[in-house]
Amino acid sequence: MDETDIKILEAISTVSPKSFVSPVKVNEILRLNEMELGDRLKLLKKSRYVDVITSEYPSSLTLPNSISKVYITELGRQRLKEKR
């Protein structure tokens, strides 16, 4: 996990610490390339720091890799506390 991953967790927590949120809204804070954000979210999901929902029917709030919602898990919150 690098500094960008920590910033992603912080942004998710800022936008919605307790529920799913659009990754596009999270990216309004981060300003990352949408493909890079999607790839990083997939890796964070594998590490169990976030949970994601994908959609077969993309909208303007969906990343190009079909991620439509993202949520920071308890493990992700703990990781943020460790880094602060």
Backbone angles phi, psi at 17, to 5 degrees: -70, -15
* pLDDT digit string, tens, across residues 52-68: 999 988 888 999 999 99
CB 64 within 8 Å of CB 34: yes
Kindly report the CATH number that applies to the domain delimited by 3-83.
Answer: 1.10.10.10
Q: What is the DSSP letter of 49?
A: S
Q: What is the pTM of this model?
A: 0.93
- Dihedral-angle region of residue 67 (phi above 0 means left; psi in -120 to 50 means alpha; beta otherwise): beta
Is residue 25 within 8 Å of 59, Cβ to Cβ? Answer: no
* pLDDT 10s digits, 37-56: 999 999 999 999 999 999 98
Q: 62: which DSSP letter?
A: S
